[in-house]
Amino acid sequence: MKFNIIFNLECGQRYLDRKGTIKKVARNGDSSAKIQEFPWMMSIATVDNNSNKVKNHCSGTVISKNFVLTAAHCFDNVKIESLFLVFGSDDLGDENQFYQVEREIDQAFTHPNYDPKYHYFDVALIKTDIDLDFNAGIYPVCLPEKASINVDNRRGNAVTLTGYGAESNENLSNQKLRFAQLTIYSQDFCNGRYSSAGSRFERIIQATLPQKFQSNILCAGYEVSFKIAIKCSEIK
């Protein structure tokens, strides 16, 4: 039985019980997440031609009842008609997800300065064909005001990375929602760290960010054997 809960709160609210209090979701020490923890997460999905199963193409973030924020590279070399939108699911392989709904892409807007060769301006908006109904599994994230974004002032802060997809290169078909805790580093640190381009990943970063980490790019990662694994995100 589904309960009709009136959601008239501001953005960024996580799973609420019927009394309106924050409810913690149990965790077993792994990186899997429940959709009620991150109800703004969604999947830009497609159907695998071989297995006929739904698979994640890209992750996105709900920002309103009819708009999703995602990356522009999600539309590189792909037909929009082959994609659809899945909301309210933390496991794309489970057909019995309580909050899951699907929508079609009405329009997709990539940043006018986006260049597929690089990671700069890698931002896109998707407009859904039908408005979403918000609930405990579908809710918009908060977007910071431009004036509040100062990467240097956020050095050392913890951030949470969420999305559907692979935990490693060996597990590229993972369809569960996952999360990781990262730390914000300064652009100077990240630029210096990847100036040598020692590993394959570092060479990819150097090739796709030829102007290095600029002031509008957030650089976050975690320490692995005295090395830093970096994730970058456009915040302009």
Lowest-pLDDT range, 102-106, 172-176, 187-191, 219-223?
172-176
User: Phi and psi at residue 81, in whole multiples of 5°?
Assistant: -65, -20
* Type of residue at 14: R
SS3 content of the chain, % helix, strand, coil (to 5): 15, 35, 55
Would the pLDDT of 205 be above 60? yes
Q: Confirm if 187 and 51 have CB atoms less than 8 A apart.
A: no
Q: Where are the domains of the chain?
A: 146-234
DSSP H/E element including 208? helix 200-208
Per the listing, tokens 């659809």 go with: 84
> Given this model, what pLDDT does residue 1 score?
34
Find out whether 67 and 40 touch, Cβ atoms under 8 Å: no
CA 48 to chain centre: 21
The answer to whether the CB of 186 falls within 8 A of the CB of 155 is yes
Q: Could you tell me how many helices (H) and strands (E) the chain has, helices first? A: 2, 11
Distance, CA of 46 to CA of 55 (rounded, Å) = 6
Which residue would you say has higher pLDDT here, 132 or 186? 132
Which pLDDT belongs to residue 149? 64
**218 within 8 A of 151, measured Cβ to Cβ:** yes
Give the model confidence (pLDDT) of 88-136 as tens digits: 999 999 989 999 999 999 999 999 999 998 889 999 999 999 999 999 9
Strands 54-62 vs 41-47: parallel, antiparallel or unpaired: antiparallel
Q: Do 60 and 126 meet the contact criterion of CB atoms below 8 Å apart? A: yes
pLDDT grade for 4, boundaries at 50, 70 and 90: very low
Q: Where does residue 145 rank: exposed (0-12), middle (13-18), buried (19+ CB within 10 A)?
A: exposed
CATH architecture of 146-234: Beta Barrel (2.40)
